[in-house]
Amino acid sequence: MTEHTTLLRVHDLDVSYRRSGRRGGTVHAVRGVDLTVRRGETVGLVGESGSGKSSIGSAVLGLVPATGGSVEFDGADITRGSRAERRLLARRMQVVFQDPYGSMNPAHTVGDTLGEALRYNLGLPADEIRERVLRALDDVGLPPGAARRHPASFSGGQRQRIAIARALVMDPEFVVCDEAVSALDLSVQAQVLNLLARLKRTRGLSYLFISHDLAVVRHLSDTIVVLYAGRVVERGPAALVADRPSHPYTRALLAAAPVPDPVVQRRRQAERRRAAAAAPAVGRAGDGCAFAPRCPFAQDICWTARPALVDRDGVAVACHRSDETADHRA
Ligand SMILES: Nc1ncnc2c1ncn2[C@@H]1O[C@H](COP(=O)(O)OP(=O)(O)O)[C@@H](O)[C@H]1O
Ligand SMILES: [Mg+2]
């Protein structure tokens, strides 16, 4: 693909937070992350809780500052955009979070909630706002009457549709979905994923789709980026990354994907929690591979040298041992 199809380019992104309180110090949530989203493409960002996914999404949206690196949108550097620039960008770049209810005023009708940004950010006239709100509701499969109701009268899945409609009214090109289906039951999750896939086609949207669940990410993504302790450990076409993972961590994620048997599911979740508790959520600076303490293939070099992200048959992998361990790949 040619250069001009790139919509979002994140380059060498760092995000760190000052820890408040007596202990102080700095949390390096994201380090040296590169990722690109082309027009019409869905890039899935996957990793366990605390791996830095939301920090990347927030830096892209300008909700937290990038402490290093850059974010380019449609060729323009937006890393340190002003409030006014961000307001302009809000037309083109929207977000859907896990808990839309938290960001909806329960006293407002759905119609007011959806029309708010159109009124205040874009200053559109009332009849155009109404038209856009009804079109967005229709796009997400809700009846026009939904505009007169309050968020509390909808189910979780319907509220997530409302959140998607709220993003759509702005007519964006790019949407960040941060754990947008994670709180939903599996059957509702599938419906909302199908809706997002349909909107991608009909509205020509591009997504940065964030989830801790590899199976969910696989469902929607063209490209998958796997994050561990704030760094990219694997990145490539969804079919390769999700079905034939190269990095030992991606393979662990695949093994942790939801299975229909609730007993097996609970056991796997418990194993995952134990493994997560045993390892540092954020890697130490300067050391070897952050995954080494949990990796069944770790050797001396893994503890002393951080593996670079290198291309192996179209998939970028950061692992000293991937040659030896990826023998299952054709
Ligand atoms: N506002 C914040 N202040 C301090 N630390 C934060 C803040 N937000 C996130 N973190 C820390 O940054 C790391 C990455 O968090 P986050 O980006 O939310 O990961 P994820 O979305 O993958 O769960 C975690 O260690 C988290 O505790
Ligand atoms: Mg998160």
pLDDT recorded at residue 274? 59
Q: Kindly give the distance from the C-alpha atom of residue 54 to the centroid of ligand 2, in angstroms, as a whole number.
A: 4
137: number of Cβ within 10 Å? 23
Would you say residue 318 lies in a domain? Answer: yes
Residue pair 129/96 in contact (Cβ under 8 Å)? The answer is no
Closest CA to 151 of 189, 118, 187, 103: 103
pLDDT recorded at residue 1? 45
Q: Give the position of tokens 């390096």.
A: 28
pLDDT in tens, the chain (330 residues): 444 599 999 999 999 999 887 778 999 999 999 999 999 999 999 999 999 999 999 999 999 999 999 999 999 999 998 888 888 888 899 999 988 777 789 999 999 999 998 998 888 999 999 999 999 999 999 999 999 999 999 999 999 999 999 999 999 999 999 999 999 999 999 999 999 999 999 999 999 999 999 999 999 999 999 999 999 999 999 999 999 999 999 999 988 766 556 666 676 666 666 555 555 444 444 579 999 999 989 999 999 999 999 999 899 999 999 877 764 444
User: For 14-72, what is the HEC assignment?
Assistant: EEEEECCCCCCCEEEEEEEEEEEEECCCEEEEECCCCCCHHHHHHHHHCCCCCCEEEEE
Instruction: For residue 177, give the ligand nearest its CA.
Output: 2
For a mutational test of ligand 1's pocket, the pick from 17, 176, 226, i.e. the residue with the most ligand atoms closer than 8 A to its C-beta, is 17
CATH number at residue 263: 3.40.50.300
pLDDT recorded at residue 285? 41
What's the CA gap between 232 and 208, in Å, rounded? 15
pLDDT recorded at residue 322? 85
pLDDT recorded at residue 122? 84
pLDDT recorded at residue 256? 73
CB distance 282 to ligand 1 below 6 Å: yes
pLDDT recorded at residue 184? 92
List of residues 6+ apart from 66 with CB closer than 8 A: 13, 14, 15, 59, 79, 80
Would you say residue 112 lies in a domain? Answer: no
Main-chain dihedrals φ then ψ at residue 26, nearest 5 degrees = -125, 135
Would you say residue 186 lies in a domain? Answer: yes
pLDDT recorded at residue 109? 96
Number of the ligand 1 atom closest to the C-alpha atom of 179: 21
The encoded tokens of residue 177 equal 């979905």
What's the CA gap between 125 and 136, in Å, rounded? 17
319 burial (CB, 10 Å; 0-12 / 13-18 / 19+) is buried
Q: Kindly give the distance from the C-alpha atom of residue 327 to the centroid of ligand 1, in angstroms, as a whole number.
A: 35
User: For 120-141, what is the HEC assignment?
Assistant: HCCCCCHHHHHHHHHHHHHHCC
Would you say residue 114 lies in a domain? Answer: no
What's the CA gap between 180 and 163, in Å, rounded? 9
CB distance 51 to ligand 1 below 6 Å: yes
| Number of domains observed in the structure of the chain | 1
The encoded tokens of residue 287 equal 């050391």
C-alpha torsion 57→59→61→65, nearest 10: 160
Question: pTM of the prediction?
Answer: 0.90
Q: Kindly give the distance from the C-alpha atom of residue 212 to the centroid of ligand 1, in angstroms, as a whole number.
A: 14
What's the CA gap between 34 and 233, in Å, rounded? 11
Q: Coil, strand or helix: which one is 310?
A: strand
Main-chain dihedrals φ then ψ at residue 35, nearest 5 degrees = -155, 150
Residue pair 92/171 in contact (Cβ under 8 Å)? The answer is no
Would you say residue 215 lies in a domain? Answer: yes
Where in the sequence is the domain holding 313, given as residue range(s)?
Answer: 3-92+172-325
pLDDT recorded at residue 162? 96
CB distance 55 to ligand 1 below 6 Å: yes
